[in-house]
Every structure is written in structure tokens, then in C-alpha cells.
Amino acid sequence: MIRPLTKLINKTLSVRLSLMIVSSMALLLLASLIVMLHYSRKAVREEALQKAAQTLDGTVQRIDNILLSVEQTTGNFYFNIMPHINNPDMMYVYSRKLVESNPYVTGCAIAFVPNFYPGRELLMAYFHRNDKGDIVQSETFADTPYTEQVWFTDPIETGMPKWQNPLSKDLSGLEPLITFSLPFYNIEGKPIGVIGVDVSLSLLTSIVLEAKPSPNSYCTLLDGKGTYIVHPDKSKLHQQTIFLTAEHSPDPSVKEAAQAMVSGETGNLPFRMNGIDYYVFFKPFSRATMPGRTIGKLGWSAGIVYPENDIFGDYNDLLYYVLAIAVVSILLLYLFCRIFIHHQLLPLRMLSEKAQLIAKGKYDDPIPESRHKDEIGRLQNNFQQMQQSLAAHIGELEQLTEQLTERDKGLREAYHQAQKADRLKTVFLHNMTNQMIEPSSAINKSVVALCGINSDEPGDQASYCTTENASQLIDDIQANGDTIAELLNNLIRLSDETIRKEAANV
């Protein structure tokens, strides 16, 4: 298939010109498309980055507003509880009220150090929302005593409020929570109890995921250890870290992105998971500075996970459309150039055919006059004049050839006649010579005989001649001389006639 195509290209000028034009246009178009698509992709990526940054800022602010709301609610109840710190029954009242007062709060535990109340070793007033949304009381939280749980032990040890995961162990069946722990202090400033306010990570996730920059993107929030605080897959909220996800992924880019987020960096990285390409845009979780807010940086990191198709989907579709349009345009351009150039080169094809006819000796086939004034039109008209001049010269040559042929024919006939005349002349001379031999011999004998009449030598032939015979001999000589003279006159006459005829023919 390649060889016939190459043969067609080498043989057809219109195809070569069309391919040259289309190739040049294709290169220019390709260069333009590459530049345009490069900057378009860059612009799309920058737009996605800007949108992700705005979404991240809004997400962080929204989460921080929720946390701030819980912190302020807890602080307000702290000041309400302190006057009734010695009344354990009021702890149950305030615990329930705190859950009722804030829709983000899913549970509240007010717990004290052992033996804080006389006669009661442990006291924890704990109310929480059940699956139906009702506020119910529970005696315990998880399967271990609250005095062994981090939400209680850390504030007691450090004396500082703290946001933390209240479940230090993998306790299945419990709602993933994040807890704000605010310690109580006695007069000496020693922690005597903790208000633990729970926020459901599922609730927090559902609230945050309402705002996302694209249909398939999602927000994620990690603590300093890489544990998921916000994630659309709620199963990951139960003591699962991003590093565990990275271990299950064969692509090392997932681990690289996880380490960058946990280390508190700001930026974006591509990664691949489950055969899908993603971009993650991340930044540290920064909290707003408020008067009286004691908790500063939490060491969290917020990220927006973008499927690459969400970022470049429309761009890729546009790319395919542009490439399809470019291919169709190139094909149409080639077809248009092919038709146009083929039409423009029709006079050249006609001239080529006429040249072949001229090469075969057909000079009279007419060439039409061109109405175009371009180079091809002028070439056609000049070729027409050349063909007409060549036809005229060839006609003259043919006429001259015919004349030369006729003259040659006449010369050949004259030559044959001359040869014939020469042969006849030779025969004639031969005959004339033969005819003159006898009279000449007779004259010779007569002369000899006549001369011997007066000879005295005996035995001579003249002795046999008499005087009477002399007259007869003279007559014989005269007669034979006349015969020879007549023959010579005839020869001269015939020669003169031949000369006159040849002069007349010339």
C-alpha cells in the first residue's frame, strides 16, 4: 500500500503541492495548539488551585467556627457550673443542657477526679444523642473507666484544654468522635475535673462535605498523627490513618502526599489511587485568634482531594474536540487544495498530453487559447503559438520534402534515361563503327590497288590491276567515302538533336 501511495505522490503534482500546503498548515496549527493548550492547561490548573485554596479557606473557617462554637459553649457552661461545683446533681443538669444548647455537640461528660465528692469514688455525668437524635444518659463512655481515657487524663495531667480523639484504642461499634476537654481547677489551680464535649466526626464530615469545589472532590482533615478527622468515607474515621491508606496503595505518591500534609506544608501534589489520578491541595489548619481563646495550633492539616478528571475533564474534552476539529480541518484543507490545485493544473495536464502528441508527430491537434492571465495561462498561449509555428514549419518542410522527392524522382528518371541513352549511344557507336569498317577496308584496298598501278616491282598486286580498273577504284573509293561521310553526318545530327533535347529539358 505504501509503494502505490508513494508512486501516486511522485507522479501527481497536485498531490505533492496539496501535501506541502497541508503539512505546512498542520505544523503551524500544531504549534499554535501546543502553545494554546499548554497555557490553557496552566490556566485551568491555576483556576483549580485558586478554587481549592478558596474552598480550603472556607472549609477551615467553617470547621474552626464549629470548634469555636463548641469551645465558647463549653466555656460559658464552665462559668455556670463553677458556682455549683459542690452539687453533684447539678452536673447532670448542666451536662444535658450543654448537649441541648449546641447542635454540633453529640455528647457531654462532666467528670471529676476520684473521691472529689465524699462518699462517691467516681462521678461522670454523661448525656449524648442516640441514633434517633434523642438525648439520653449513659453511665459509662466506652468500655474502660473514664479515669483511663485520654480525654480525661491529659487535661488532668497538663492542666490545659485540648482537642483530641477520646478513643485511644480501636473500640468498634462506637461513633467516631473528637472531644474538647476543658479542666476544672480548685483554689490552688489544680485540675479537679474535666468537661468533655464530643463532636461527631460523621456530623462534622457531612457538614464540611456540603461545600466542595467539584462534584467528585472532597475535603479531608488530618490530625498531627495522620488520623482522619474529616473524610467522606466514614469507615476511615474510626482510628484509621492516612499512612495505613498509603500502605495499601502501590503508588508511592500517596505516601509522599500524606507526609507533606502531616508535616504542615502548603501546596499540591498529584497521586494515584485505585487506578484514578488525583490532585490534593493542602494547607495547615489555622485557627482564628479570638480573645480568651487558649487553644492555638492543633497541628491539623486540611486538604481538598480533586480527581484529575474534575480539574481537566472539560479541558480534555475541549482538547479532543479541538484535535477532532483540527484533523477534520486538515482533511478539508487537503481536499480543497487538491481540488483547487487539480483544477489549476488542468492546462498543464492538457499541455503535457499535447506535447506527447507532438512527440508522436501529430502537430495539427489544436490547443485552445487560455483566458487566464497568470503564468499557466501565458504558458498555454505561448505553447499554442509554438505549436502553430511548429505546425507551419513542419508543413513547409513536408512540402519541401515532397518537392525534393518529386525532383529526386525526376532526376532518377533522367539518370535512368541518361544511362539508357548512354547505352544506346554505345550501341549506336558500335554499330556505326562496324558499318564504317567495311567501307574503310574497301577504301584501303582500293587505295592500295590504285597506288599499285604504276609500280614496277614484279609480283606486286598492282600488276594485276589495269588502267581501266583505276576509274572503277576511284568510284569505289568515292562511294565508300560518301558512305562514311553520311554515317558521320548522321552521327553529328543525332548528337546535335540529343544536345538540344537535354538543353530543352534543363
pLDDT over 70 at 458, yes or no:
no
User: Which three cell numbers mark 102?
Assistant: 449546641
Q: Is the pLDDT of residue 172 over 50?
A: no
Euclidean distance between CA atoms 99 and 108, whole angstroms: 6
Q: What DSSP letter does each residue of 249-286 carry, written as one string?
A: -S-HHHHHHHHHHHTT--EEEEEEETTEEEEEEEEE-P
What is the spatial distance between Cα 301 and Cα 364, in angstroms, rounded to a whole number?
Answer: 94
Residue whose grid cell is 519541401: 400
Structure-block grid coordinates of residue 275: 487506578
Rounded Cα–Cα distance for residues 35 and 41 (Å): 10
Q: In Å, how far are 1, 4, 161 from 187, measured between CA atoms? A: 99, 103, 18
AA identity, residue 439: P
Residues 353-394 pLDDT 10s: 777 777 777 767 777 777 766 666 777 677 777 777 777 777
- Report the C-alpha gap between 113 and 156 in whole angstroms: 8
Q: What is the pLDDT of residue 464?
A: 47
Supply the pTM of this predicted model.
0.59
Amino acid of residue 64: D
pLDDT band with cut points at 50, 70 and 90 for residue 237: low
User: What Å distances lie between residue 300 and 14, 35, 221, 335, 362, CA to CA?
Assistant: 69, 40, 7, 62, 97
Q: What is the pLDDT of residue 506?
A: 54
Nearest in space to 200 (alpha carbons), one of 219, 177, 181, 222 = 177
What pLDDT score was predicted for residue 363?
Answer: 66
Residue 363 three-state SS: coil
Higher pLDDT, 408 or 372: 408
Cα 205 from Cα 43, distance rounded (Å): 31
182 SS3 class: strand
Distance CA 103, CA 203 (A): 10
- pLDDT digits over 106-145, tens only? 899 999 999 888 888 889 999 998 888 889 998 887 778 8
What is the arithmetic mean of pLDDT over 299-308?
Answer: 82
- Asked if the model's pLDDT at residue 302 lies above 90, the reply is no
- Cα separation, 103 vs 349, in Å, equals 89
Cell of 490: 548522321
